[in-house]
């Protein structure tokens, strides 16, 4: 997939800076520069917006370029932002009806057998029939089309749709695929070359050469290079498209049984998208006076007017990642707006380590809570979180599950319930934010000391408790366990061995970076030299190739790699870490994850693959940065978690059974090996499984914008991305 399919101008800067090829020159010569990009926004129209009926039969552009629609309740025209009912059929419908009747007589076929008809320049006419496609030019007889292009030669049958673009190009769609004739030459795109679906109903060409195809399972956009699939309530009122037109502004309009839909194509800078998402976070996604950032629960599907915010097991992780994004934003822009937001996120995470101290069930110093709730609300320990439910969970789901009650102790001041049993992914989020905040935002000795204090408290807790988080009950938590005995000698922890070894080394190296305290370096070297943590982390994930293994762990690993490689000064260790990350990135690259791509590019620039047969340059290619930018462009502004269905698509290759540890149905990828693009599926965070094909959401969750903001600002900071 090429990023220029979005109308993005990618300029590769050729200004090599003087001196050695450090990060700055790397960024300058590979920076992806974007101008205004296409930001798709969907709208849906029903009787509430003036349609005579939501059961739409046909749609067209009248002689003024105005959108008109035929419904079961009559005709309507779109005027001044709403639909106006018409007393009679617009001429465009009656004219097409007359043309259809005349052509049916000339071809000696029943009008009902004509699937579609289109009139081009110079009185050219194309007709879609079950038996094929008939074409007539001025002064010639009707001919059946037999398109031929290269090694493809078609005798199409069951032709569903025909249409002409403004330059006279003839397009057609049939079960074999899609084709067009321009200046007498045919170009054919068979199903096997990336077409998402082929049960066509209609087509329409846009003003810039793009073509939209209606199908019984959604709409398809084709710009001559890239196919884009628009399906489900994020994009359409209904998937069964009965007609499509494209107006002069490039807005596509769709007639369906549940109303009219349109997808607008406004141009927007990514910086504008970022600011809109930040404004939405402030409106919908901040919880408690500390402003923890989390998704919103909508009262009604797709309706943002009423919502609620609830605590999350991973408040520290998600708010930490959001806050890290604001740190990168401040580092890239020096804008006080971002500094204030980063500081707020830091204070929110810092409080999670303070709220656990004291009270009836005090945790050891340095123990961060998962989350907090105001004590003015219901006590979560009464019915939501009970010892009986813990026992049931251990018996039926997880034999290592921790039984602890209360799971939500009350703070010393009585103002908060705080959630215990904190996990390793929480720590990854904490350390990622603290390191980024320390390096890029904390600009006074006093502020840096505040960061050191919380980092040393957590790190000392881990060291003092055998590299484990120990809860208020004096026992380790379920998941935050990093000690050598478990990592190296307990088979139940074999899957976590590599990742947790990586995380622990990263935590210690981060603490050493901030404090230069030798005890952290000593612990770090002890784990490497005496407990094989270097060897452990060289294989941080148990997998059988791309799309396999625990997808949620990838996000944790990449954040840990970022700090570990960035702060390691020993060239040999750094090369080993970079080699491990390179091998990890090979299985992650098909996901086009901008966070993973940018982290890899940031810390592996100039590194060489280690070992006796090593020496290969591990620097990220330009394509890696282009793929990251393409995903950032594609992330919809609409962050509602809508359902999506992709398992029926023709461009999907199912995951092979022999690559799966467990049998997971409905997982796959495109024919090119990459996952389905982000605008054709649903995700909330980067710990999701992008290899899933179908998503059973209901439109009641509004995701926050962290998944865009963190990689976007990281890309700006590292100069992987720039805007004109």
Most confident of the ranges 13-22, 343-352, 647-656: 343-352
Q: What is the pLDDT of residues 267-293, one digit of tens each?
A: 999 999 999 999 999 999 999 999 999
- Give the separation between CA 231 and CA 239, rounded to whole angstroms: 6
At 85, which helix (H) or strand (E)? strand 82-86
The pLDDT, as a whole number, for residue 5 is 42
Q: Are residues 552 and 662 in the same domain?
A: yes
Q: What is the number of domains present in the chain?
A: 2
For residue 379, give every residue at least 6 positions away whose Cβ sits within 8 Å of its Cβ, in sequence order, or none: 408, 417
> Is 376:420 a contact under the CB 8 Å cutoff?
no
For residue 133, give every residue at least 6 positions away whose Cβ sits within 8 Å of its Cβ, in sequence order, or none: 126, 127, 144, 145, 156, 159, 162, 172, 174
Residue 430 binned pLDDT confidence (cut-offs 50, 70, 90) = very high
Give yes or no for residue 13 having a pLDDT over 90. no
Give the range of the structural domain holding residue 211, as residue numbers without chain letter: 46-265
The pLDDT, as a whole number, for residue 22 is 39
At 721, which helix (H) or strand (E)? strand 721-723
- Residue 287 inside a domain? The answer is no
- Residue 70 inside a domain? The answer is yes
Q: Are residues 100 and 122 in the same domain?
A: yes
Q: Could you say which of 244, 265, 286 is where a domain stops?
A: 265
- Minimum mean pLDDT range among 112-116, 218-222, 463-467, 572-576: 112-116
Give yes or no for residue 341 having a pLDDT over 50. yes
The pLDDT, as a whole number, for residue 16 is 32
* Length of the chain, in residues: 724
- Give the separation between CA 363 and CA 373, rounded to whole angstroms: 17
Strands 200-205 and 185-190: unpaired
- Residue 84 inside a domain? The answer is yes
Q: Are residues 253 and 336 in the same domain?
A: no
- Compute CA distances 360 → 409, 414, 478, whole Å: 8, 10, 22
Give yes or no for residue 555 having a pLDDT over 70. yes
Q: Residue 458 has what DSSP assignment?
A: H
Q: Are residues 13 and 64 in the same domain?
A: no
The three-state (H, E, C) secondary structure of 395-429, written as one string:
HHCCCCCCCCCCCCCECCCCCEEECCCCCHHHHHH
DSSP readout, 295-322? Answer: -EEEEETTEEEEEE----TTHHHHHHHH
**Cis check: omega of the bond before 406, within 30 degrees of 0:** yes
Please report, for the domain that includes residue 714, its CATH number: 1.50.10
- Residue 704 inside a domain? The answer is yes
Q: Are residues 226 and 359 in the same domain?
A: no
pTM over 0.85: yes
The pLDDT, as a whole number, for residue 195 is 97
- Residue 674 inside a domain? The answer is yes
Q: What is the pLDDT of residues 559-618, one digit of tens each?
A: 999 999 999 999 999 999 999 999 999 999 999 999 999 999 999 999 998 888 778 999
Q: Are residues 645 and 604 in the same domain?
A: yes
- Residue 275 inside a domain? The answer is no
- Residue 274 inside a domain? The answer is no
Q: Are residues 208 and 72 in the same domain?
A: yes
Q: Are residues 348 and 228 in the same domain?
A: no
Q: What is the pLDDT of residues 207-260, one digit of tens each?
A: 999 999 999 999 999 999 999 999 999 999 999 999 999 999 999 999 999 999
Q: What is the pLDDT of residues 372-387, one digit of tens each?
A: 999 999 999 999 999 9
Q: Are residues 15 and 149 in the same domain?
A: no
The whole-number average pLDDT for the span 620-649 is 98
Please report, for the domain that includes residue 195, its CATH number: 2.130.10.10
Q: What is the pLDDT of residues 293-337, one digit of tens each?
A: 999 999 999 999 999 999 999 999 999 999 999 999 999 999 999
The pLDDT, as a whole number, for residue 663 is 57
The pLDDT, as a whole number, for residue 6 is 39
Q: Could you say which of 265, 296, 324 is where a domain stops?
A: 265
- Residue 294 inside a domain? The answer is no
Q: Are residues 13 and 65 in the same domain?
A: no
- Give the separation between CA 477 and CA 425, rounded to whole angstroms: 12
- Give the separation between CA 584 and CA 598, rounded to whole angstroms: 14
Give yes or no for residue 24 having a pLDDT over 60. no
Q: Are residues 488 and 567 in the same domain?
A: yes
Give yes or no for residue 530 having a pLDDT over 70. yes
Locate 635 and state its tokens.
Answer: 């992330």
- Minimum mean pLDDT range among 1-10, 132-141, 427-436: 1-10
Q: What is the pLDDT of residues 670-685, one digit of tens each?
A: 999 999 999 999 999 9
Give yes or no for residue 21 having a pLDDT over 70. no
Give yes or no for residue 2 having a pLDDT over 80. no
Q: Could you say which of 211, 231, 265 is where a domain stops?
A: 265
Beta bridge partners of 220: 213, 229
The pLDDT, as a whole number, for residue 662 is 62
The pLDDT, as a whole number, for residue 121 is 87
Q: Are residues 69 and 11 in the same domain?
A: no
Locate 333 and state its tokens.
Answer: 């822009």
Give yes or no for residue 718 having a pLDDT over 90. yes
């Amino acid at each position: 997939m090429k990023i220029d399919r979005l109308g993005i101008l990618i300029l590769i800067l050729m200004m090599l800076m003087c001196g050695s090829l450090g990060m700055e020159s790397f960024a300058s010569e590979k920076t992806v520069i974007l101008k205004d990009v296409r930001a798709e926004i969907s709208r849906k129209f029903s009787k509430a917006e003036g349609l005579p009926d939501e059961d739409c039969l046909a749609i067209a552009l009248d002689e003024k370029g105005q959108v008109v629609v035929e419904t079961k309740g009559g005709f309507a025209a779109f005027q001044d932002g709403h639909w106006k009912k018409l007393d009679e059929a617009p001429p465009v419908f009656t004219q097409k009806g007359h043309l259809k009747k005349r052509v049916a007589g000339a071809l000696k076929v029943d009008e009902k057998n004509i699937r579609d008809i289109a009139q081009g320049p110079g009185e050219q006419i194309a007709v879609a029939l079950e038996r094929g496609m008939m074409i007539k030019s001025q002064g010639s007889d009707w001919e059946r089309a037999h398109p031929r292009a290269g090694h493809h030669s078609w005798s199409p049958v069951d032709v569903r749709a025909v249409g002409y673009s403004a330059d006279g190009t003839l397009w057609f769609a049939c079960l074999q695929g899609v084709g067009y004739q321009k200046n007498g030459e045919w170009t054919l795109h068979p199903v096997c070359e990336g077409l998402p679906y082929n049960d066509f109903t209609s087509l329409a060409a846009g003003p810039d050469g793009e073509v939209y195809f209606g199908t019984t399972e959604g709409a398809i956009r084709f710009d001559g290079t890239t196919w884009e699939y628009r399906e489900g309530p994020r994009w359409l009122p209904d998937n069964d498209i009965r007609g499509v037109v494209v107006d002069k502004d490039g807005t596509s309009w769709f007639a369906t049984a549940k109303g009219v839909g349109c997808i607008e194509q406004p141009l927007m800078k990514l910086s504008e998208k970022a600011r809109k998402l930040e404004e939405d976070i402030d409106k919908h996604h901040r919880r408690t006076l500390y402003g923890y950032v989390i998704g919103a629960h909508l009262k009604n599907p797709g309706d943002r007017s009423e919502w609620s915010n609830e605590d999350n097991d991973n408040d520290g992780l998600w708010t930490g990642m959001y806050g890290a994004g604001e740190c990168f934003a401040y580092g890239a822009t020096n804008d006080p707006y971002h500094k204030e937001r980063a500081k707020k996120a830091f204070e929110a995470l810092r409080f999670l380590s303070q709220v656990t101290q004291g009270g009836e069930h005090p945790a050891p110093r340095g123990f961060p809570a998962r989350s907090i709730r105001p004590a003015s609300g219901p006590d979560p320990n009464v019915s939501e979180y009970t010892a009986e439910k813990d026992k049931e969970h251990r018996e039926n789901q997880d034999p290592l599950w921790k039984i602890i009650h209360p799971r939500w102790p009350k703070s010393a001041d009585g103002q908060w319930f705080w959630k215990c049993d904190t996990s390793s992914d929480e720590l990854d989020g904490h350390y990622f934010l603290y390191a980024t905040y320390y390096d890029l935002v904390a600009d006074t000795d006093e502020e840096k000391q505040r960061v050191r204090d919380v980092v040393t408290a957590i790190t000392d807790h881990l060291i003092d408790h055998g590299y484990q988080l120990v809860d208020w009950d004096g026992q380790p938590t379920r998941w935050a366990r990093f000690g050598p005995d478990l990592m190296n000698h307990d088979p139940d922890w074999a899957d976590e061995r590599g990742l947790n070894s990586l995380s622990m080394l990263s935590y210690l190296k981060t603490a050493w970076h901030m404090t230069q305290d030798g005890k952290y370096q000593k612990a770090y070297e002890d784990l490497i030299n005496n407990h094989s943590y270097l060897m452990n982390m060289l294989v941080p994930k148990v997998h059988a190739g791309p799309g396999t293994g625990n997808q949620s762990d990838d996000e944790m690993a990449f954040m840990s790699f970022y700090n570990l490689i960035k702060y390691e000064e020993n060239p040999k260790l750094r090369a080993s870490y970079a080699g491990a990350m390179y091998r990890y990135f090979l299985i992650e690259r098909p996901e086009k994850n901008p966070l993973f791509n940018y982290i890899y590019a940031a810390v592996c620039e100039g590194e060489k693959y280690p070992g006796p047969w090593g020496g290969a340059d591990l620097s990220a290619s330009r394509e890696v940065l282009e793929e990251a930018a393409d995903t950032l462009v594609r992330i919809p502004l609409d962050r509602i978690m809508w359902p999506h269905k992709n398992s029926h698509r023709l461009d999907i290759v199912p995951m092979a059974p022999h690559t799966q540890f467990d049998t997971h149905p409905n997982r796959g990828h495109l024919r090119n090996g990459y996952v389905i693009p982000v605008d054709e599926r649903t995700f909330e965070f980067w710990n999701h499984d992008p290899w899933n094909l179908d998503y059973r959401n209901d439109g009641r969750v509004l995701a926050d914008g962290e998944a865009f903001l963190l990689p976007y600002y990281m890309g700006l900071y590292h100069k992987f991305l720039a805007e004109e």
